Structure 1
């Protein structure tokens, strides 16, 4: 590979070259995260204003709360201070949050809504990111400064939940599929994110407020019980969406049930089976795809998406690496990481990697860089993933 060959041809051996690759990516990630962090606290999914951002791909200079939450966790690991400004942005600027207590699809950097979809995982993931920031720094007593954000977000999730489903239509994290209250269906990843977020909220709010948090824990328990119903014993994997009608398409987002949402352990046989299904159906030539027969590529011509078939998503390779690291399978973890590193022709990690030279991808994707950082540190045991008591 030209980029890495020029930079890292090392007579000392392959191991040193690998470590230098990772160190170079860590350094580029620091710059990319800083580039994505706007002065008012917003964190965009990609900074399209930068010279390195390609033409002819989807413009990602928007705030996705989900992407930004993972970016905050990576920033914790890297020692970059952007988290508090972003949490404040969420509380004060994100349109609709003050009224509804939940976050929507996307936002402009000034906080105006850019998309109306209710994706429950975004609110749950933010609560996890707030908790991670203070737990990682071992300053949980300081979380009181975002008490309003935590309480409003946890209340917002619970307000829209009724026993075993949301009372309004919800969208999945890929922004493509909808659940409906009358079908009592759920996106499994979304429920996992909300379960974890509500538990994190409970841990962050002071003991004297525990009466308030009982509702959050009740909702989390109901969500967790509902997730268990989403495992299909005959197919031997968790369904991505289930209810009165089920969706049997294998989806990589279910890795989130292990990390970061801790609904299942890495060795839970249901997750082992689910990951086996992923490896059979959506891990192609080493790269992990979102789901079967995905067509979104982010490649554009004259303002229109081409949709000529999706590539592998590096962030999903990193997620798979995290899963195997948590399972104690170091070689498998490294294999999924190395596939991405060996596929790169620059220090920028794209949204997708294609098996042809024609299709173009959003690049760099900040979320992909965040997942690289998390997987890198998990794999090397430089940090321990913070587990709840």
Structure 2
């Protein structure tokens, strides 16, 4: 079985009856939970390969769990700041759509923006009228009110760290999500106006404070490079691959974080010793494919394939070239072996495989 076929099978096999994609079905810290961010990219992967039903079920699940919290969002918007991070909406939910009962680094805005972006991509690809899908309008409108009100707040980043900072990858996801929501044409006039204003605010803040040395920075005020910044280029287009800032961001990640086909999260990473992440290789390959650098994109796809277990499962990260090998054991003792399979890794593999397939079709019509 090809890795594309196996990836589709893994994702279908573990998708919950209600539509949620579990992050990793056997990993102790992730088991029983679905993240908006992870799931959105997983849905994008299967949507590209023809599993419209699976992706649609996930989007309906997201719309339901977000829409059910409309009153909570309205109450948050009505409150005076500051609002403690623990009072904000979660970034992950149980597979049946409840808030988790165990503690987590939960206040992350990027997942809500990423879901809106992925929903719009799916609807356009499969000619779906979003307003005809039960519950989707309420979910979209709730997510937009939430992001429009709170986009400028510090929150946890993709890696569930540094809640005190405003992260550029988060800004990129919010910007893409709000623009996508306007295109879906489900918003009331005031909501659409607020979404456009918030997106413009994100763009202005990123231009004024999110750039250092001509490329995007990890968080406002930092000089660091982070693998999550790749998403600001492709697919979110905060600065696309043909923009000097986008090109410089990809180049900085490639120079500082890429090694032999894999990509580190950031240079100070100590999680499981700081290995190279499979899904980030997918993001770097995606940007290379969009830029027409097809040999480089194929190299990252091949590296992702080489990390599969004998059964074809892709892990979260690999442990052969660790940044902090002395820190690996503490995580194994805490949570067990590295998460495998990680459905987001399989989703990103599907995305890059399809992107390269599309590039070949374009080259050879």
Say whether the fold is shared (TM-score over 0.5): yes
Superposition pairs for residues 228-267 of structure 1, below 5 Å?
A: 228-233=207-212, 235-242=213-220, 246-267=221-242
Tell me the residue number matched to 2:6.
28
Partners of 1:116 and 1:315 in 2: how far apart? 21
Superposition pairs for residues 159-178 of structure 1, below 5 Å?
A: 159-161=149-151, 165-166=152-153, 169-178=154-163
2:37 matched to 1:47?
no
Partners of 1:315 and 1:174 in 2: how far apart? 13
Is the 2:168–2:229 Cα contact (8 Å) retained in structure 1?
yes
Partners of 1:46 and 1:172 in 2: how far apart? 19
Tell me the residue number matched to 1:225.
204
| 2:117 aligned residue (128, 138, 146) | 128
Q: Deviations over 1:189-216 (max 9, x none)?
A: 1111111111111111259x44531111
| 1:366 aligned residue (338, 343, 349) | 343
Is the 1:378–1:384 Cα contact (8 Å) retained in structure 2?
no
Is the 1:91–1:98 Cα contact (8 Å) retained in structure 2?
no
Is the 2:277–2:316 Cα contact (8 Å) retained in structure 1?
yes
Tell me the residue number matched to 2:70.
98
| 1:139 aligned residue (91, 104, 128) | 128
Tell me the residue number matched to 1:192.
172
Partners of 1:66 and 1:383 in 2: how far apart? 28
Superposition pairs for residues 188-337 of structure 1, below 5 Å?
A: 188-205=168-185, 209-233=188-212, 235-242=213-220, 246-297=221-272, 309-337=273-301
Going from structure 1 to structure 2, the CA distance change for 1:116 and 1:265 (only over 3 Å counts) comes to: closer
Is the 2:144–2:191 Cα contact (8 Å) retained in structure 1?
no
- The structure that has the greater radius of gyration is 1
Partners of 2:264 and 2:149 in 1: how far apart? 34
Give the C-alpha shift of residue 280 in structure 1.
2.2
Is the 1:192–1:263 Cα contact (8 Å) retained in structure 2?
yes
Going from structure 1 to structure 2, the CA distance change for 1:190 and 1:348 (only over 3 Å counts) comes to: same
Give the C-alpha shift of residue 69 in structure 1.
0.9
Going from structure 1 to structure 2, the CA distance change for 1:204 and 1:317 (only over 3 Å counts) comes to: same
Partners of 1:375 and 1:152 in 2: how far apart? 31
Tell me the residue number matched to 2:76.
none
Q: Which runs of 5+ in 1 are unaligned?
A: 1-22, 180-184, 298-308
Going from structure 1 to structure 2, the CA distance change for 1:343 and 1:129 (only over 3 Å counts) comes to: closer
Q: Once superposed, what is the RMSD of the aligned Cα atoms?
A: 2.6
Tell me the residue number matched to 1:74.
45
Give the C-alpha shift of residue 112 in structure 1.
2.3
Give the C-alpha shift of residue 279 in structure 1.
2.0
SS in 1 for 2:231: helix
Going from structure 1 to structure 2, the CA distance change for 1:345 and 1:83 (only over 3 Å counts) comes to: closer
2:96 matched to 1:110?
yes
Give the C-alpha shift of residue 226 in structure 1.
0.9
Going from structure 1 to structure 2, the CA distance change for 1:227 and 1:356 (only over 3 Å counts) comes to: closer
Q: Deviations over 1:163-206 (max 9, x none)?
A: xx22xx41111101113xxxxx5210111111111111111125
Superposition pairs for residues 55-66 of structure 1, below 5 Å?
A: 58-66=29-37
2:325 matched to 1:353?
no
Partners of 2:67 and 2:31 in 1: how far apart? 19
SS in 2 for 1:157: helix
Q: Which runs of 5+ in 2 are unaligned?
A: 74-87, 323-328
Partners of 2:63 and 2:358 in 1: how far apart? 34
Going from structure 1 to structure 2, the CA distance change for 1:230 and 1:369 (only over 3 Å counts) comes to: farther
Going from structure 1 to structure 2, the CA distance change for 1:143 and 1:223 (only over 3 Å counts) comes to: farther
Q: Deviations over 1:9-32 (max 9, x none)?
A: xxxxxxxxxxxxxx6111111111
Partners of 2:44 and 2:201 in 1: how far apart? 27
SS in 1 for 2:179: helix
Q: How many residues align?
A: 330
Give the C-alpha shift of residue 97 in structure 1.
2.6
Partners of 2:360 and 2:203 in 1: how far apart? 28
